[in-house]
Amino acid sequence: MPRPANRPSLTRERIESEALALIEREGLDAFSMRRLGQTLGVEAMSLYHHFPSKAHLLDALVDRVLASVPIPSREQDPASRLRQLVRHWRDIARRHARFYAWLSLHRWNSATGVAFLAEVLACFTDAGLDSERAARGFRALGYYVLGATLDETQGYANGPASLQPLTQVELETLHPQVAQAGRYFTPDQFDTTFELGLDVLLSGLGLLRR
Amino acid sequence: MPRPANRPSLTRERIESEALALIEREGLDAFSMRRLGQTLGVEAMSLYHHFPSKAHLLDALVDRVLASVPIPSREQDPASRLRQLVRHWRDIARRHARFYAWLSLHRWNSATGVAFLAEVLACFTDAGLDSERAARGFRALGYYVLGATLDETQGYANGPASLQPLTQVELETLHPQVAQAGRYFTPDQFDTTFELGLDVLLSGLGLLRR
DNA sequence: ACCTGAACACCGTTCAAGT
DNA sequence: ACCTGAACACCGTTCAAGT
């Protein structure tokens, strides 16, 4: 049966953009080839004509999101290029919060992913660090940003709760220091805390030296 | 039908310990209530007599793993207590590498989880930091350890590969700096790199000051 | 070339029934 | 009290068939 005239033909482009939107709307767990087919007005099996598997589709989404990251001009100094790259990294985490659980834990070793990481590494070498210090600093900074973005998008504020959590009263009784610190763990505090750790790392890893 | 005499009765204890072992053997994706029932010689539905849902079971596993972390004596100085806590954290990530993908992204807000986090936070306050600096430092350090443990267990070395990865030749041609840095990204380099970033953070966050 | 429908081998979970 | 079997509403994917 030919598709109705009012339904645009299926393309990788349409599938990918609807997939990203669907994941943010309904979550990664609810995302399935069948559900995606539904929202595109098509049988799930039609998707396999464009992507050989669900994993291939998700992989294409990783690439698509990474490709949307702007690369700062190399004319700027390494530290401010690095700050921009990190900011863009956090931006995609927030813009694709639910997909980020997949995105962040898959190797960024496509051409697009490596290109982004190469820019980050270049900031370290351009700052005058030898190759070992640059490599290790790059990696340590990556740990920090990975953890921060995951925690901010999946963690305390938004993430799945323990099924038998401590009540607020128990928390205040048993761990008053933790209860008090909670004041600094709300989403409006994310930026300040993130920048604090980032400054410590940039300075300690030798990015701010001449 | 009564269970055969050679099969021990089902208990939460048996279910939990077999679940953890099964997850490490076959991976988190392959882990199902039906598969777990199989390895315990029982119908999947029997598990629901002990745990109301798969999520409850996984939550009990989070608690069980966190409960296995030793808490250093408060007589030691804050910085070395913190180093021990972080080492134990990394240990559970490695010991439960496949389960860690679930463990790390669920709120540690059970009694056991909060108790561990309270010990980490106490290191910051005991080091003489005011409550804001302690809270933000605690959080920034948590970001770093979360990212490092996830990267070490799920990431580059062991994690899922991009389905169209750059080849080694392409990598060397397009991004020679990244190719060269790869020398410092192998598992035998994890400890050194991790300690480097940890030192920078402890020092910069005020843990090594008097 | 592109899409479909039935089928296969799985899921988590509900429920009535067995001992 | 503890376990089972059938059933429901889902999965990803294969395959032969349709246009």
pLDDT by residue for chain B (210 residues), tens only, comes to 444 545 668 899 999 999 999 999 999 999 999 999 999 999 999 999 999 999 999 999 999 999 999 999 999 999 999 999 999 999 999 999 999 999 999 888 889 999 999 999 999 999 999 999 999 999 999 999 999 999 999 865 455 666 778 899 999 999 999 999 999 999 999 999 999 999 999 999 999 965
CA distance A7 to chain B (A): 30
Determine phi and psi for B167, rounding to 5 degrees.
-75, 165
Q: Which of residues 45-84 of B touch A (CB under 8 A)?
A: 55-56, 59, 62-63
- Whether residue A162 and residue B192 make contact (CB cut-off 8 A), yes or no, is no
Residue nearest to nucleotide D15 (CA to C1'): A45
pLDDT digits (tens, 9 = 90+) for A175-187: 999 999 999 999 9
- Find, in chain B, the residue whose alpha carbon is nearest to that of A153: B105
- The CATH code belonging to domain B71-156+163-204 is 1.10.357.10
CA of B1: nearest nucleotide by C1' is C19
Question: Are residues B168 and A123 in contact, defined by beta-carbon separation less than 8 angstroms?
Answer: no
Tokens of A10: 């299926």
Query: Where exactly does CATH 1.10.10.60 map onto chain B?
Result: 12-51
Give me the residue label for tokens 């898959």: A106
Query: What is the rounded CA–CA span in Å between residue A10 and residue A71?
Result: 31
> A200 in contact with B at a CB cutoff of 8 Å?
yes
Q: Which of residues 13-52 of A touch B (CB under 8 A)?
A: none
Q: Is the CB of B9 under 7 A from strand D?
A: yes
Give me the residue label for tokens 């199902």: B32
Q: What is the pLDDT at residue A107?
A: 82
Question: CATH 1.10.10.60: does it fit domain B12-51?
Answer: yes
Query: What is the rounded CA–CA span in Å between residue B165 and residue B172?
Result: 13
Query: Where exactly does CATH 1.10.357.10 map onto chain A?
Result: 71-156+163-204
Contacts of A62 (CB under 8 A, 6+ apart): A102, A103, A106, A108, A110, A113, B162
| Cα pseudo-dihedral A183, A184, A187, A188, rounded to 10 | 90
CA of A45 to C1' of C8 (A): 15
CA of B10: nearest nucleotide by C1' is D2
- Whether residue B122 and residue A177 make contact (CB cut-off 8 A), yes or no, is yes
Query: What is the rounded CA–CA span in Å between residue B106 and residue B85?
Result: 19
Q: What is the pLDDT at residue A2?
A: 46
Cα angle for residues A97, A98, A104 (degrees, 5° grid)? 75
- Whether residue B140 and residue A200 make contact (CB cut-off 8 A), yes or no, is yes
Q: Is the CB of A53 under 7 A from strand D?
A: yes
**Residue A103 Cα distances to A58, A141, A203, B76, B79, angstroms:** 8, 18, 28, 40, 34
Strand C bases near protein CB (under 7 Å) are: 2-6, 10-16, 19
Q: What is the pLDDT at residue B165?
A: 82
pLDDT digits (tens, 9 = 90+) for A133-155: 999 999 999 999 999 999 999 86
Considering only CB atoms, which chain B residues are within 8 Å of A164?
59, 110
**Residue A145 Cα distances to B35, B101, B171, B193, angstroms:** 36, 17, 24, 15
**More confidently predicted of B158 and A61:** A61
Query: What is the rounded CA–CA span in Å between residue B31 and residue B52?
Result: 17
Cα angle for residues B63, B69, B74 (degrees, 5° grid)? 125
Instruction: Using only the alpha carbons of chain B, give its radius of gyration.
Output: 21
Task: Mutation target for B interface from A56, A58, A146: give the one with most B CBs within 10 A.
Answer: A146
pLDDT digits (tens, 9 = 90+) for A4-31: 545 668 899 999 999 999 999 999 999 9
Q: Which of residues 79-138 of A touch B (CB under 8 A)?
A: 101, 104-111, 113-115, 117-118, 121-122, 125, 131-132, 134-138
- Whether residue B184 and residue A135 make contact (CB cut-off 8 A), yes or no, is yes
pLDDT above 70 (res A161):
no
Q: Is the CB of B5 under 7 A from strand D?
A: no
Please compute, for residue A120, the number of CA atoms within 13 A of its CA located in the half-sphere on the CB side. 26
Tokens of A139: 């990696």
The verdict on pTM exceeding 0.85 is: yes
> B150 in contact with A at a CB cutoff of 8 Å?
yes
Reduce the DSSP state of residue A148 to 3 states and report it. Answer: helix
> A168 in contact with B at a CB cutoff of 8 Å?
no
pLDDT digits (tens, 9 = 90+) for A79-120: 999 999 999 999 999 999 999 999 999 888 889 999 999 999
CA of B44 to C1' of D5 (A): 11
What is the average pLDDT score of chain A? 92
Q: How far is CA A132 from the centre of its chain?
A: 26
Residues 40-99 of B with CB under 7 A from strand C: 44-45, 48, 52-55
The DSSP code sequence of chain B is -PPPTTSPPP-HHHHHHHHHHHHHHH-TTT--HHHHHHHTTS-GGGGGGT-SSHHHHHHHHHHHHHHTSPPPPTTS-HHHHHHHHHHHHHHHHHHTTTTHHHHTTS---SHHHHHHHHHHHHHHHHTT--HHHHHHHHHHHHHHHHHHHHHHHHSTTTSPPPSSPPPHHHHHHH-HHHHHHGGG-SGGGHHHHHHHHHHHHHHHTTSS--
Q: Is the CB of A189 under 7 A from strand D?
A: no
